[in-house]
Amino acid sequence: MKTYNVGYLIGSLATESINRKLAHALFKLAPEQLRFKEISYAELPPYSYDFDADYPEVGRNFKKAIESSDALLIVTPEYNRSIPGALKNAIDWASRPWGTNSFKHIPSGVIGTSPGAIGTAVGQQHLRSILGFLNSPQMNSPEAYIQFKDGFLNEAGEIADAGTAKFLKGYLEEFHQFIARVLTVLPRGA
């Protein structure tokens, strides 16, 4: 099967983000045909349409990183029953100026972890609504709302619970198949 370059965004800018830790643990479970590369957005200033006439290099580079990915995986916490403001700001940068939406036709997956019992369920629903508006085909099933507890990761940064590891491995296998299906129907550059 073909190899796909998956750009990933971590919803939290925190250095010790549990979502960053989850992402790194996921990569160890992923099919070998998925190659992951972080798309950083920490340097983006707050978006304003005042930038649209002369889009800054940092914004153009961020858009280019999104567009050069075969697919996107967004690993995000939930802040106040939504997505973090910095992630929303990055999405706004990538979808502007109007008519230059970088998310269009790029398959996406959403996952996240939180100490709370429902993981990031509500925040993911907000994100799915945004990605739907941006015409990014989304893997809607399986959903993954992961509760991050003590002992979730072992010393090697791997998922400690065998059942959770099996579920997440399946999630990534489904994501791989989803990417292949979407890009068969909506080939890049078409």
Closest Cα to residue 12, out of 105, 148, 106, 136?
A: 148
Given this model, what pLDDT does residue 186 score?
83
Count of beta carbons in the 10 Å neighbourhood of residue 12: 18
Q: What pTM was estimated for this model as a whole?
A: 0.95
What local confidence, expressed as pLDDT, does residue 54 receive? 96
For the stretch 71-98, pLDDT in tens is 999 999 999 999 999 999 999 999 999 9
Q: What domains lie within the chain, and their CATH numbers? A: 4-185 (3.40.50.360)
Strand partners, 82: 79
Is a pLDDT exceeding 70 seen at residue 190?
Answer: no
